[in-house]
């Protein structure tokens, strides 16, 4: 979301705002001539009530969304990021400043830059906005980049894992014949290489924007991932309200995020750690009762390669950060009530 304290009549939004202001001054309505002017802009143009209900729109908007008067439509009915749009609308009403937010058309592979500006008086306020499609070249470039990442990940998985599996198998045979400290060190090194490969692949695949999220109940996801990664001595506490917590996510990547946070807790707090997962006003948190993080560690902990454990890969929390950013979320490290580590994931819708 971007705020623009200036007003630029030469831009599409500036022209639309000026046209609607002129209509308000002249006639308290948008007459045929002004409607034609709005249609000529070539972008989506819409007028919102402060509540978010659509009060008017141009032909481009109607053609693209099939919007009609019959259903009392809201702008959020047609885009996949309703929370972002509502946040922009509220910010404009609170500050009077122009706000721009990115959103994708619901059910279509088309992204738009939506801008909002306030018009009218305190007694009769409305919002005028314009939606400009993001250049298809940018979308194509992002798609190509994602394909290259996936191709690279496939090569890494095949070309490195195959010889690693051969080495591991030969080492197991050697250990059966003679178990020495040197061979155990080799075994530990091979295990670390395998973890590095796994984490590198997960990191590479985590950064692409989430385009097809699904609505899921958070608590079952938490419990399923916990069963897969926790030790027998570890304890999970789920501190949710009675109502189900439903969020819009890429389910597989949510699983990776929770897995990394749980694994981080077990690694740094010990096998008998108690992990608490709870809700926030706009998200959730994962906390443990371990030794916690220093203030310096909290600043760098999400950087790739940074680890406070001697045998850590340094990718786990970087994966968490990448997945959060891909969803439009924010993640931060802080201190739990018991003095351990607490990771808060916010801006979740």
199 and 112 in a common domain? no
338 and 230 in a common domain? yes
Residue 301, domain extent: 210-349
Contact 19, 26 (CB under 8 A): no
Please report the pLDDT score of residue 13 as a whole number: 47
CATH of residue 304: 3.30.565.10
216 and 335 in a common domain? yes
Which of 146, 177, 206 is the last residue in one of the domains?
206
The residue whose two tokens read 């099939």 is 66
179 and 220 in a common domain? no
349 and 214 in a common domain? yes
186 and 216 in a common domain? no
Task: Tell me the C-alpha distance between 309 and 84, whole Å.
Answer: 38
Q: Between the CA of residue 172 and those of 78, 165, 184, 196, what are the distances in Å? A: 58, 11, 10, 20
Please report the pLDDT score of residue 146 as a whole number: 64
Task: Tell me the C-alpha distance between 60 and 39, whole Å.
Answer: 7
Tokens of 305: 């390669």
Please report the pLDDT score of residue 208 as a whole number: 66
- Sheet containing strand 341-346, edge to edge, reads 235-239, 274-280, 283-288, 341-346, 330-335
129 and 119 in a common domain? yes
109 and 185 in a common domain? no
Task: Tell me the C-alpha distance between 267 and 290, whole Å.
Answer: 10
pTM (two decimals): 0.52
Tokens of 1: 């979301």
Please report the pLDDT score of residue 149 as a whole number: 65
Task: Tell me the C-alpha distance between 309 and 293, whole Å.
Answer: 12
Please report the pLDDT score of residue 70 as a whole number: 65
CATH of residue 20: 3.30.450.20
Written as tens digits, the pLDDT of the chain (349 aa) is 444 444 433 344 444 444 444 444 344 444 566 666 666 667 888 888 888 888 888 888 888 888 877 677 888 888 888 888 888 888 888 887 777 878 777 766 678 888 888 877 666 678 888 888 876 555 566 666 666 666 666 666 667 777 888 888 888 888 888 888 888 888 878 887 777 777 667 766 666 667 678 899 999 999 999 998 877 899 999 998 777 789 999 898 899 899 999 999 998 899 999 999 999 999 999 999 999 999 988 988 888 777 777 666 678 888 899 899 888 899 999 999 999 999 999 999 8
The tens digit of pLDDT for each residue in 251-307 reads: 988 998 999 999 999 988 999 999 999 999 999 999 999 999 999 889 888 887 777
Task: Tell me the C-alpha distance between 299 and 95, whole Å.
Answer: 31
Please report the pLDDT score of residue 289 as a whole number: 95
Task: Tell me the C-alpha distance between 125 and 94, whole Å.
Answer: 12
Please report the pLDDT score of residue 139 as a whole number: 56
CATH of residue 149: 1.10.287
Which of 84, 102, 134 is the last residue in one of the domains?
134
Task: Tell me the C-alpha distance between 14 and 321, whole Å.
Answer: 37
Task: Tell me the C-alpha distance between 4 and 82, whole Å.
Answer: 21
Which of 186, 206, 226 is the last residue in one of the domains?
206
The residue whose two tokens read 């080799």 is 186
Give 114-178 as a DSSP string. EEEEEEE-SSSEEEEEEEEEPPHHHHHHHHHHHHHHHHHHHHHHHHHHHHHHHHHHHHHHHHHH-
Burial code of 29-68, b = ≥16 C-beta within 10 A, e = fewer? ebeeebbebbeebebbbbbbebebebebbbebbeebbebe
57 and 152 in a common domain? no
241 and 108 in a common domain? no
The residue whose two tokens read 């890969």 is 313
The tens digit of pLDDT for each residue in 122-147 reads: 666 788 888 888 765 555 666 666 66
323 and 239 in a common domain? yes
Please report the pLDDT score of residue 137 as a whole number: 52
Please report the pLDDT score of residue 78 as a whole number: 86
188 and 222 in a common domain? no
Please report the pLDDT score of residue 291 as a whole number: 92
Tokens of 86: 């509502």
Q: How many domains does the chain divide into?
A: 3
């Amino acid at each position: 979301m971007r705020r623009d304290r200036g007003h630029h009549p030469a831009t599409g939004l500036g022209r639309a705002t000026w046209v609607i202001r002129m209509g308000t001054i002249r006639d308290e309505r948008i007459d045929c001539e002004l409607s034609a002017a709005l249609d000529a802009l070539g972008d989506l143009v819409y007028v919102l009530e402060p509540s978010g209900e659509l009060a008017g729109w141009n032909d481009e908007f109607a053609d693209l969304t099939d919007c009609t008067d019959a259903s009392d439509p809201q702008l959020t009915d047609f885009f996949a990021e309703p929370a972002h749009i509502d946040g922009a609308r509220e910010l404009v009403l609170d500050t009077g400043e122009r706000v721009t937010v990115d959103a994708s058309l619901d059910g279509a592979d088309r992204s738009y830059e939506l801008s909002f500006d306030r018009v009218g008086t305190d007694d009769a306020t409305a919002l005028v906005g314009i939606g400009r499609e993001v250049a298809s070249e940018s979308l194509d470039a992002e798609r190509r980049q994602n394909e290259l990442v996936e191709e690279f990940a496939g090569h890494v998985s095949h070309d490195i894992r195959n010889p690693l599996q051969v080495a591991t198998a030969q080492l197991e045979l050697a250990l059966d014949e003679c178990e020495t400290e040197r061979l155990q060190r080799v075994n530990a090194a091979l295990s670390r290489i395998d973890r590095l490969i796994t984490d590198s692949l997960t990191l590479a695949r985590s950064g692409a924007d989430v385009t097809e999220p699904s609505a899921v109940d958070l608590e079952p996801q938490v419990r399923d991932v916990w069963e897969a990664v926790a030790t027998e001595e570890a304890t999970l506490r789920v501190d949710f309200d009675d109502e189900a917590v439903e969020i819009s996510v890429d389910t597989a990547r949510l699983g990776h995020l929770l897995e990394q946070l749980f694994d981080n807790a077990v690694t740094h707090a010990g096998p008998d750690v108690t992990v608490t997962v709870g809700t926030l006003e706009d998200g959730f948190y994962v906390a443990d009762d371990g030794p916690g993080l220093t203030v310096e560690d909290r600043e760098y902990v999400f950087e790739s390669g940074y680890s406070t454990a001697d045998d850590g890969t340094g990718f786990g929390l970087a994966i968490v950060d990448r997945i959060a950013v891909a969803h439009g979320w924010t993640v931060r490290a802080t201190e739990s009530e018991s003095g351990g580590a607490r990771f808060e994931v916010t801006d979740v819708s």
